[in-house]
Amino acid sequence: MTIKNNYFAEKLIALVIYSIAVAPINVISPAIFVLPIALAAINFRDLLITLKRLVFLNLFIAVIAASLYFWGDKEEALLIFVRSNLILFVSLIFFARSNENEIAIALAKLKLPAKVISTIFFSLKIIVLLKYEFSRFRRALLLREFTLKANRRSYKIIGGFLATLLLRAIERSEKLEKTMLLRGFNGKIHSLTKEKISAIYLAFFAALATLAFVKIPVIF
């Protein structure tokens, strides 16, 4: 496979650096916002979809933060909320337009074992296929004007869908296995793209991420 270079590996390294810097903080410093703001400015076309995804992921984070807040630990609640959202935002906007092919190539750039790369690649492939099946099911329900309610009919429909989804996943996996074997798959994902890390882009992203380690006058 051949794709354009979106510097996924370089971004992944920068994300790891940024996460290491932000995860253990106990004060909110302006330095931790440098990378998110820079990425929002660079990738402003992906900003809206990133924020939509972030809101969805915040459902779980908000519950944890709210629990700590009502138990009286307001500082820890704020820290968890900010740290989680910053790391998630950087992750989402970094890889807003990435797909399983780019991920496989990026992991190859990082010299990970072939089995690890293959496992991640095929797992993502199946997830994409299941997402497509879910979208089809959702459209079918909308066309039939179905409304989810707490009754037996709704439970039967959702249960039937989950069973169908499981069977489709097994079926797709078997077809994918047979397809790859017929193509002479030997456990390694091959690419026509040169698997080299760009020093310039790595230095750029890593420098922005490393700024999160800088301790400057705090906000909180």
pLDDT the model gives residue 215: 65
DSSP string, 87-107: HHHHHHHHTTT--HHHHHHHH
Q: Give yes or no for residue 2 having a pLDDT over 60.
A: no
Q: Is the pLDDT of residue 4 over 60?
A: no
Is pLDDT of 64 > 50? yes
Mean pLDDT of the chain: 78
| 198, amino acid identity | S
Which of 90-94, 124-128, 151-155 reaches the highest mean pLDDT?
A: 90-94
Q: Where are the alpha helices (DSSP H) in the chain?
A: 8-22, 34-42, 47-70, 74-94, 100-109, 114-143, 152-182, 199-210
For the cut 60, the answer to whether the pLDDT of residue 123 exceeds it is yes
Could you tell me the CA-to-CA distances from 91 to 16, 19, 164 in Å, in that order? 10, 10, 32
Least confident range from 16-20, 103-107, 125-129, 165-169: namely 103-107
CA angle at 35 for the pair 31 and 38, rounded to the nearest 5°: 120
pLDDT band at 94 (very low <50, low <70, confident <90, very high): confident
Task: Check pLDDT > 70 for residue 91.
Answer: yes
Which one has a higher pLDDT value, 216 or 143?
143
Report how far apart, in Å, the C-alpha atoms of 113 and of each of 14, 57, 105, 183 are.
21, 30, 12, 21
Cβ(2)–Cβ(192) below 8 Å: yes
